[in-house]
Chain A
Amino acid sequence: SAVISQKPSRDICQRGTSLTIQCQVDSQVTMMFWYRQQPGQSLTLIATANQGSEATYESGFVIDKFPISRPNLTFSTLTVSNMSPEDSSIYLCSAATGTETYEQYFGPGTRLTVT
């Protein structure tokens, strides 16, 4: 299993600013992901964070808006850039160990409100 922590847990930001969310896993993991949940919507995958290389973004998400870093096997950051009220969401970090039975673990989320 993997225990994931995120910070900050919540923030209120002004439009046009940027926020960086940090994700720390207590063990080395194969894969790390970033999701968001907008109000009333599914948990939606933003990107897969690749160690030492550019993240792989899902359709509708771009690097300029959501730059991601993953410098090692236990840590990743997601930046929400040039924020607008539509970015108000819960952002979750996730990790998978890639063993025989695929299991995905989640952090507690960062609740972002953009005013």
Chain B
Amino acid sequence: ILNVEQSPQSLHVQEGDSTNFTCSFPSSNFYALHWYRWETAKSPEALFVMTLNGDEKKKGRISATLNTKEGYSYLYIKGSQPEDSATYLCALPGNTPLVFGKGTRLSVIA
């Protein structure tokens, strides 16, 4: 069974602060890693798909890095805004459908 761990479970930051959180996964048989943002009552939104060791991807104020050898990915948010409040999910393909971590719930306080 593929085990995907995310930390911290929840995070409260002030508006304007930068923050980051972690996704850990087994480093053997790595294929790809997906990051999603899930706002309440909305569909989880794909942020990044990462496949290569050392990959770094960026979308506005959000960026992610990948280390497949040690089995972790970091998601960074620079200058957090209230609209960044959401649950951030990390997932890896199992046999085919994605296997998810429990997510990091981010609350940005204005």
> How far is it, in angstroms, between the C-alpha of A4 and the C-alpha of B102 when the chains are bound?
22
On whether the beta carbons of A106 and B49 are closer than 8 Å, the reply is no
Known: A31-B96, A96-B96, A102-B32. A42 touches B43 (CB 8 A): no
Q: Which bracket fits the contact residues of B?
A: 20 to 34
> How far is it, in angstroms, between the C-alpha of A48 and the C-alpha of B32 when the chains are bound?
20
> How far is it, in angstroms, between the C-alpha of A106 and the C-alpha of B93 when the chains are bound?
15
On whether the beta carbons of A94 and B103 are closer than 8 Å, the reply is no
Where the two chains meet, the residues of B that have a C-beta atom closer than 8 Å to any C-beta of A are: 4, 32, 34, 36, 41-44, 46, 49, 89, 91, 93-94, 96-103
Where the two chains meet, the residues of A that have a C-beta atom closer than 8 Å to any C-beta of B are: 4, 9, 31, 33, 35, 40-45, 48, 92, 94, 96, 101-109, 111
Known: A43-B44, A43-B89, A45-B97. 9 other contacts (CB 8 A): A9-B41, A31-B96, A31-B97, A42-B102, A43-B91, A48-B97, A103-B49, A106-B43, A106-B44
